[in-house]
């Protein structure tokens, strides 16, 4: 199943990041894009999500200096764009993979593309990792750890359900019962022609 591979790659990316646990560490992808192309994309996608997870932690520090907060906000904006780009790369992979499939006459479109569902799976892997950390925290109360264990159980069930749904969607696309139709996100706030504030700076 595809999600077995995806979940394995996500775990690898998250574990690799936490060796140094530093948002400014160098990035190195262990998957060769010419050999393991989809693994290469999945690893990069999850790494972006993992760094952004920690950006979001840092920016919520009430003592953060305004200049540092502004710099971090811009890093988060750039990360969001990278995340969207990676989702579109992953969808392009599936479009190419299933380009020869003829949809059935009664084929329907799904509410979201495969890659946007995989995006949620990547975020879920991060939630599971960090909730496990909370369960194992030595300085936490038993009540806190018990509450986090209940949340972890739900997250694990959610990952199982989401993985099944993604694999079912891919199977339906492969057999022509569903078809892919991908829309670009067309984000406007990073475009100096579409964002009126950025556009005004060019005059």
Q: How far is CA 157 from CA 5, 151, 167, 180, 181, in A?
A: 18, 10, 16, 27, 29
Q: Nearest CA to 51 among 118, 126, 128?
A: 126
Apex 63 CA angle, 61 and 69, nearest 5 = 65
Q: How many domains does the chain have?
A: 1
Within a domain: residue 176?
A: yes
Within a domain: residue 199?
A: no
pLDDT tens-place values along the chain, 203 residues long: 999 999 999 999 999 999 999 999 999 999 999 999 999 999 999 999 999 999 999 999 999 999 999 999 999 999 999 999 999 999 999 999 999 999 999 999 999 999 999 999 999 999 999 999 999 999 999 999 999 999 999 999 999 999 999 999 999 999 999 999 877 766 666 666 767 766 677 66
Task: Write the CB contacts of 44 (distance below 8 Å, at least 6 apart in sequence).
Answer: 29, 86
Instruction: Give pLDDT, residue 150.
Output: 98
Q: Which range of residues forms the domain containing residue 77?
A: 2-192
pTM score, whole prediction:
0.90
d(CA 160, CA 166): 10
148: three-class secondary structure by DSSP: helix
Instruction: Give pLDDT, residue 203.
Output: 62
Within a domain: residue 201?
A: no
Within a domain: residue 156?
A: yes
Q: What's phi and psi for 196, nearest 5 deg?
A: -65, -30
């Amino acid at each position: 199943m595809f999600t077995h591979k995806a979940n394995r790659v996500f775990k690898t990316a998250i574990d690799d990041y936490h060796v140094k646990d530093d948002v400014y560490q160098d990035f190195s992808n262990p998957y060769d894009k010419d050999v393991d192309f989809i693994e290469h994309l999945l690893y990069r996608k999850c790494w972006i999500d993992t760094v952004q997870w920690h950006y979001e932690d840092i920016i919520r520090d009430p003592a953060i200096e305004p200049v540092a907060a502004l710099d971090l906000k811009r890093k988060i904006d750039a990360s969001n764009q990278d995340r969207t780009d990676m989702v579109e790369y992953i969808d392009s992979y599936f479009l190419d993979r299933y380009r020869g499939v003829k949809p059935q006459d009664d084929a329907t479109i799904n509410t979201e593309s495969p890659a946007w569902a995989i995006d949620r799976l990547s975020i879920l892997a991060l939630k599971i990792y960090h909730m496990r950390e909370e369960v194992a925290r030595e300085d936490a109360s038993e009540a806190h750890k018990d509450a986090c264990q209940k949340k972890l159980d739900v997250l694990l069930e959610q990952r199982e359900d989401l993985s099944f749904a993604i694999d079912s969607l891919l199977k339906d696309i492969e057999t022509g019962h569903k078809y892919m139709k991908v829309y670009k996100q067309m984000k406007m706030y990073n475009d100096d022609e579409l964002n009126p504030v950025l556009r005004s700076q060019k005059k």
